[in-house]
Amino acid sequence: MICDNQKPTLVYYLDDEPDLAEVFFDLIQAQGIQVRTFTDPLIFLSETAKTPPDIVFVDYRLPGMNGLEIAKKLSPKIHIALMTGELEIQNKAPALEVLSKPFEKELILKFIKEHSSFI
């Protein structure tokens, strides 16, 4: 998918469950979207600082820190979706989009489309 500045949309996904990261990768890559997945929050933060993505999907429950803590460390220019099965998290994260986990393909793709500028 191409943004209005001709740069491909870059999507990052952080989840400590490798199987979910793999499923997410396959889903997004099949749509022709550039995607990277991470299972370690510290590596994710390091890579995000080096190559900022356009869109981030981050799991809420992570080792060492939670998804809200991760989101606070990211640039405000990045569109962030917090992935969780805990409905009460929605009230704690008004600046973030909260998507249910397990994730639904249609909601993921809708979020990407809404936060990318397509030609």
Instruction: Output the pLDDT for position 92.
Output: 63
Give the list of residues 6+ apart from residue 87 with CB closer than 8 angstroms, or none: none
Please write the tens of the pLDDT for every residue from 73-100: 999 889 999 998 876 776 565 557 888 8
- 39 falls within a domain: yes
Domain count, the chain: 1
* Residue 82 belongs to domain with CATH number: 3.40.50.2300
Apex 39 CA angle, 37 and 40, nearest 5? 120
- Specify the range with the lowest mean pLDDT, choosing from 1-10, 22-31, 41-50, 73-82: 1-10
User: What does the pLDDT read at residue 6?
Assistant: 57
119 lies in some domain: no
How confident is the model over 64-78, as a mean pLDDT? 91
Structural domain contains residue 110: yes
H or E segment to which residue 114 belongs: helix 105-114
Asked if residue 2 is part of any domain, the answer here is: no
DSSP state of 7: P
On whether residue 63 sits in a domain, the answer given is yes
| pTM exceeding the 0.75 threshold for the entire prediction | yes
Helix (H) or strand (E) holding 104: none
**Structural domain range at position 48:** 10-114
Confirm whether 1 is domain-assigned: no
- How remote is the C-alpha of 103 from its chain's centroid? 11
Dist. CA 75–CA 101, nearest whole Å: 24
Is residue 4 in a domain?
A: no
Residue 81 lies in a domain: yes
Does 1 score more than 60 pLDDT?
Answer: no
